[in-house]
Structure 1
Amino acid sequence: MTAPAITQAMIDAYDEYTHLTLDRRGFMEKLTRLAGSGAAAAAIAPLLAANPAAAEIVPADDARLKGEDITWPGSGPGSTGDMMGYLVRPADTSGKLATVIVIHENRGLNAHIRDVARRVALEGFVALAPDYLSPLGGTPADEDKAREMIGQLDPAQTVANGVATVNFLKADKLGTGKVGAMGFCWGGGAVNDLAAASPDLAAGVAYYGRQADAAKVPGIQAALLLHYAGQDERINAGIEAYKAALEAAGKDFTIYVYDGAQHAFNNDSSAARYDKEAADLAWGRTIAFFKDKLG
Structure 2
Amino acid sequence: MSLLADWVHYGDDGKYRGYLARPDHVKEPLPAVIVLQEIWGVDEHIRDVTRRIAQAGYVAFAPDLFAGNREVADVLAEDRVKEAKQFLNSIPPAHWRDAEQQKSALAALPEAKGRAIAETLGELFNHGGRMPGYIQQIMAASAWLRDGFEHSRGCGVASVGFCMGGALSGMLAARDPKLSGAVIFYGSAPSADLIPEIGCPVLGLYGELDKRITDEVPAFAEALRAAGKTFEYRIYDGAQHAFFNDTRPSFQMAASRDAFTRTLAFLQRTLTAGEPAVV
TM-score band, normalised by the shorter chain? Answer: 0.7 to 0.9
Confirm or deny: 8 A CA contact 1:106 1:147 kept in the other structure. Answer: no
Matched with 1:69 is 7
Can you list the C-alpha shifts for 1:29-53, whole angstroms capped at 9, x where unaligned? xxxxxxxxxxxxxxxxxxxxxxxxx
Instruction: State the one-letter code of the partner of 1:68.
Output: D
Q: Which structure is higher in strand share?
A: 1
Partner of 2:77: 140
Counterpart Cα distance in 1 of 2:8 and 2:15:
10
**Cα distance change on mapping 1:72 and 1:278 into 2, 3 Å:** same
Change (3 A) 1:237 1:164: same
Give the 3-state SS of the residue equivalent to 1:165 in structure 2. helix
**Does residue 75 of structure 2 align to residue 97 of structure 1?**
no
Deviation at 1:146, TM superposition (A): 5.4
3-state SS of the aligned residue for 1:231? Answer: coil
8 A Cα contact 1:264 1:273, kept in partner: yes
User: 1:285/1:233 Cα in 2 relative to 1: closer, same or farther (>3 Å)?
Assistant: same
Q: Distance in 1 between the 2:135 and 2:123 partners?
A: 16
Aligned with residue 215 of structure 1, among 193, 200, 220: 193
The equivalent residue for 2:110 is none
| Residue of structure 1 in register with 2:59 after alignment | 126
Aligned partners of 2:186 and 2:30: how far apart in 1? 27
CA distance in 1, matches of 2:2, 2:14: 33
Separation in 2 of the partners of 1:161 and 1:119? Answer: 23
CA distance in 2, matches of 1:231, 1:201: 30
Secondary structure of the corresponding residue to residue 31 of structure 2: strand
Change (3 A) 1:146 1:196: farther
SS at match of 2:40: coil
Choose from 204, 211, 225 the match for 1:226.
204
Conserved 8 A contact 1:104-1:187: yes
What's the counterpart of residue 29 of structure 1? none
Tell me if structure 2 keeps the 8 A contact 1:180–1:201: yes
The structure 2 residue matched to 1:155, chosen from 112, 121, 131, is 131
Please, which runs of 5 or more residues in structure 1 have no aligned partner? 1-62, 75-79
8 Å Cα contact 2:166-2:185 kept in structure 1: yes
- 8 Å CA contact retained: 2:185, 2:206: yes
CA distance in structure 2 between the aligned counterparts of 1:70 and 1:224, rounded to whole angstroms: 28
- RMSD over aligned Cα, in angstroms? 1.7
Q: TM-score, normalised by structure 2?
A: 0.77
Task: Provide the secondary structure at the position in 2 that maps to 1:225.
Answer: strand
Q: Is the 8 A contact 2:63 2:137 kept in 1?
A: no
Amino acid of the residue matched to residue 198 of structure 2? I
1:257 aligns with 2:235: yes
Unaligned 5+ segments in structure 2 are 85-118, 273-279
The answer to whether the aligner puts 1:276 opposite 2:237 as a matched pair is no
The count of aligned residue pairs is: 227
So what's the TM-score if we normalise by structure 1?
0.73
| Residue of 156, 163, 179 corresponding to 1:201 | 179
Cα drift, residue 154 of structure 1: 2.1
Match of 2:145 among 164, 169, 172: 169
Question: Match for 2:20 among 62, 67, 87?
Answer: 87
SS of the counterpart of 1:260?
A: coil
Residue 106 of structure 1 contacts residue 146 of structure 1 at CA under 8 Å; is this kept in 2? no
Q: CA deviation at 1:237?
A: 2.6
Query: 2: distance between equivalents of 1:184 and 1:111?
Result: 14
